[in-house]
Homo-oligomer: A and B are copies of this chain.
């Protein structure tokens, strides 16, 4: 167990991933309240909105309004997701924390379906983002490899393709004199097993031993938390996750239990294994329950329904 990290960093994706895919759209005031409540739990980065075509993702049509209305804490970063240059420009015009990132997809078909661009076109666009970052004094932070564990159109995504995407991302950073903080491998459509986590992180580390790795996981087929644990064993300390297990990719072509790994379940598991997160678990559980109220149906998170173990310790 020696490689378990001492501290795990959670990037909260629930407001963005959840609102994006849920049937019920929320009022701007509810979106803002949800984000502000999460910001009180100790989470240090919250993905609040995405900049998508409102015809494809109507629930995000009010992204600008939401971004403007949030009362922000100084110690929390409020981010947004863009997948094209227009989205990045929208983000820059708003009171959001624009985090310099490079986003490639390992599957050609998924790239086209999700962003309407081939891998080659995406690579070219990333360079234009780098120029925008430079012009706006934005530091490059993370590179993302989407569909790094499989693709719901192409099926298997060879490890070599993932390594190639990592290399492309690192090269773009180098080209612009901007070193990356690390690379996120995203299991966008929920194909990964713990063995895949070990194999793919292992392959990346073999080639770039010092590269920091983050994971963006979906619990589509029940392996989400096992994958988190497999990654923790390898010392991974950076995860995207969603309160209540909200989320799912709207373009992934499957329905059902497609949400992100659940933030408070991860926090629970970490705390119980003496891994710090800096997050108040009970407060985060309340956010998950708020999400159920807001969206009006049961959500897949577990510890939000059963409660943490705190009360048993208070009795003892």
Contact = CB atoms under 8 A, between A and B. Distances in A.
Interface string A199-242: 00000000000000000000111111110111000000000000
A1 interface: yes
A22 interface: no
A226 B266 CA distance: 11
A93 interface: no
B256 A221 contact: no
24 contacts: A150-B309, A151-B312, A152-B312, A156-B313, A193-B269, A193-B272, A194-B229, A195-B273, A220-B302, A221-B265, A221-B309, A222-B269, A222-B301, A222-B302, A223-B265, A223-B268, A224-B225, A225-B225, A256-B302, A256-B304, A256-B305, A257-B306, A258-B306, A298-B298
B221 A273 contact: no
Contact of A262 (B1, B191, B222, B258): B222
A209 to B, nearest CB: 20
Contacts of A298: 298
Contact of A257 (B193, B198, B302, B312): B302
Nearest to A270: B193
Contacts of A300: 300
Contacts of A258: 306
A155 B225 contact: no
Contacts of A58: none
A150 B312 contact: yes
Given A154-B316, A229-B229, A302-B221, A191 B309 contact: yes
Interface in A163-198: 190-191, 193-196, 198
A306 B254 CA distance: 6
Contact of A225 (B151, B226, B257): B226
Nearest to A266: B222
A305 B1 contact: no
Interface string A135-160: 00000000000000011101110000
A269 B194 contact: yes
A223 B309 CA distance: 13
Interface string A273-316: 11000000000000000000000001011111111110011011
